[in-house]
Structure 1
Amino acid sequence: MRVAIPCIDDRGLDSYVSQHFGRARYFVIADVDNGVKDVKVVRLPFEDHMPGDIPRFLQSLGVEVVITYGLGMRAMGFFESMGIRVVSGAMGKVGDVLDGFIKNSLVLDKDWRSKEEFSGHHCD
């Protein structure tokens, strides 16, 4: 399974999950199968984006699951239409988040939508 996690820099598993999906410039792409098999960091190939650009880019990389902290309803809709699962509310180091996801013990902030930054947010 290929997983994408938006991160704040290009340090891979040592990076931290970006608080906002649409503002991330880097994504950790990890192949997961009873553990992490392969990890790479990709930088978005564009500075500015239109709705759907990031979901389409991740889809082109074969991503099946996106693990993020927060994202807009539009981005969620794009992923849903593409058959890509979204896990929201994840925070901390990317390596720890991946480990928690694999072990089905990932602790999520269920209240991320109530944060001011995401209140009424509709774009990706």
Structure 2
Amino acid sequence: MELYDTHKFPATMRATMIVAVPVEEDRGPDSEVAQHFGRARYFAFVDVDGGSVRGITVKENPHQEHGPGDLPKFVSEHGARVVIAYGMGPRAVEFFNSYGIEVVTGASGRVVDVVKAYVDGSLSTDSSWRSREDFEHEHGHGHHGH
């Protein structure tokens, strides 16, 4: 039996994991990444195994009128270790991190394409969302200094 040095491969290539992506519509793999994770009508939970997408389950967002921490808890309860979104306020990122969930922002496109690109290390992200006013003020979920 041959042994492989796993350090030669990114962790995502050998791991089985669930990636959560906020989406506007329930169109399965063709669902588009929502512009703002907190206002997403649905979340796609993508089952990734060894670098390939095994399946996608879309669930309605039960916290559209959400309080701080509600969505990270929801995502965590579905077993996700990574959340890929377009934009997200800093307090939300902190909540996800407190659940041990990695946050990737600036992503857009079809869920299946975004997750595949993330897994193979080719995901290109857009940081211009950070300059948009609606991400600066956290929608009344608390104030942070500038």
What residue is the counterpart of 2:126 in the other structure? 109
Unaligned runs of 5+ in 2: 1-16
Q: Distance in 2 between matches of 1:111 and 1:44?
A: 25
Q: Where does residue 4 of structure 1 map in the other structure? A: 20
1:76 aligns with 2:89: no
Which segments of structure 1 move beyond 4 Å, counting only runs of 4 or more?
none
Q: TM-score, normalised by structure 2?
A: 0.79
- How many angstroms does 1:72 deviate by? 1.1
> 2:96·2:103 contact (CA, 8 Å) conserved in 1?
yes
Moved more, 83-92 or 108-117: 108-117
Distance 2:63 2:123 in 1: 31
Query: Structure 1 residues 81, 46: CA separation in 2 closer, same or farther (over 3 Å shift)?
Result: closer
- 2:59 is paired with a residue whose SS is strand
> In structure 2, what is the Cα distance between the partners aligned to 1:46 and 1:99?
27
User: What amino acid sits opposite 1:10 in the alignment?
Assistant: D
1:52-77, CA deviations, whole angstroms, 9 ceiling, x for partnerless residues?
A: 11110111111100000001111111
CA radius of gyration, larger in: 2
Backbone CA RMSD of aligned residues: 1.6
Query: 1:44 maps to what in 2?
Result: 61
Which structure has the higher relative contact order (CA within 8 Å, separation 6+)?
1
User: Quick one: percent identity of the two aligned structures?
Assistant: 50
Q: Which residue type is aligned with residue 19 of structure 1?
A: Q
Structure 1 residue 110 displacement after superposition: 2.1
Give CA deviations for 1:50-106 in whole Å, capped at 9, x if unaligned: 111111011111110000000111111101111100000001111211121121100
- TM-score, structure 1 normalization: 0.92
Match of 1:88 in 2: 105
Aligned length: 124
Flag structure 1 segments of 5+ consecutive residues without an equivalent: none
Cα drift, residue 45 of structure 1: 2.4
Helix, strand or coil at the partner of 2:127: coil
